[in-house]
Amino acid sequence: MAVTRTPLIAGNWKMNLDHLQTVALVQKLHWTLRDAGHESDSVEVAVFPPFTDLRTAQTLIDADKIPFALGAQDISTHDSGAYTGEVSGTFLAKLDCRYVIIGHSERREYHAETDEVVAAKVQAAVKHGLVPVVCVGETAEDLEKFGASAVPAGQLEIALAGLPADADVVVAYEPVWAIGSGQAATPAQAQEVCAKLREVVARVVGEEAGVRTRVLYGGSVKSANIASFMREPDVDGALVGGASLVADEFAAIIRYQKHVGV
């Protein structure tokens, strides 16, 4: 079953940048890509600002017709009610968010999000027409104890359970041992796990979903190594952290096809 998967380069800003800094970064990134002759159809770009910046980013993207998709960094399992500090998928959809990150390692570690909570958030995202970017990955201890792919594959199986066959999802493999370390996984390591995750999607959601679903790599991604990951057949893009906060560097990552060649 042949299908073309448009590469997705996603910038997770985490808890960085206020709304004014958001304007500056989005504009500079757009101008840098435009001046470099980037063709927006070749690679999809998505930015994930903090909640307080979403309206600012959405207004700017719409007004200037900037070809970036907008995403949120989390979602509530609830639609509304007495849940102080949470943000509903209803609100995100009204802001034209296309994507929402779910199950990021920092949410799992610092907010004790279980696989079951992640699964409930995936269901909430799909319910509101949002595309969940489901993050899975292992620590160095997990890797040593269980081997490559066992933990992320198990996390993904729970996260996707019960989804309809036509559900649109993105999977992001983030080896926790690589995030922020400056030491990325090797392309071969990323390919091995991403291929296994694709098998999980096919088994749980359906064969067609396994073919069409984009699987991203995340963990110390930079312009110097992105092309080597993108050469792998089951790596369809990247979830970029710190490097997405620097317009020139993020633009170079997005333009991996041009500055290195694949």
Predicted local confidence at residue 148, as pLDDT: 81
Say how far apart CA 175 and CA 109 lie, in whole Å: 13
Say how far apart CA 140 and CA 24 lie, in whole Å: 37
For the chain, domain boundaries:
16-259
| pLDDT tier at 2, thresholds 50, 70, 90 | low
Predicted local confidence at residue 188, as pLDDT: 95
Catalytic pick from 38, 104, 106, 138? 104
Predicted local confidence at residue 181, as pLDDT: 66
- Among the residue ranges 57-66, 76-85, 87-96, 179-188, the one predicted with the least confidence is 179-188
More confident residue, 2 or 67: 67
The mean per-residue pLDDT over the stretch 90-114 comes to: 97
Q: Where are the beta strands (DSSP E) in the chain?
A: 8-12, 44-48, 68-72, 99-102, 131-136, 170-173, 214-217, 237-240
Tell me the per-residue pLDDT of 150-170, one tens digit each, with 9 for 90 and over. 999 999 999 999 999 999 999
Among this protein's residues, is 174 annotated catalytic?
A: yes
Total Cβ atoms within 10 A of residue 180: 11
Among this protein's residues, is 104 annotated catalytic?
A: yes
Predicted local confidence at residue 31, as pLDDT: 97
Tell me the per-residue pLDDT of 41-53, one tens digit each, with 9 for 90 and over. 899 999 999 999 9
Predicted local confidence at residue 185, as pLDDT: 84
Share of the chain above pLDDT 90, in %: 85
Predicted local confidence at residue 179, as pLDDT: 72
| Statement: residue 1 has pLDDT above 60 | no
Residues 6+ away with beta carbon under 8 Å from 209: 165, 166, 167, 169, 201, 202
Say how far apart CA 116 and CA 154 lie, in whole Å: 12
Please tell me the CATH code under which domain 16-259 is placed. Answer: 3.20.20.70
Catalytic pick from 106, 138, 174, 232? 174
- Among the residue ranges 87-91, 93-97, 147-151, 181-185, the one predicted with the least confidence is 181-185
- Write down the mean pLDDT value for the chain: 94
Tell me the per-residue pLDDT of 125-142, one tens digit each, with 9 for 90 and over. 999 999 999 999 998 888
Distances in whole angstroms, Cα of residue 160 to Cα of each of 6, 30, 124, 223: 21, 34, 12, 31
Phi first, then psi, for residue 132 (nearest 5°) are: -75, 135
Predicted local confidence at residue 259, as pLDDT: 57
Residues 6+ away with beta carbon under 8 Å from 81: none
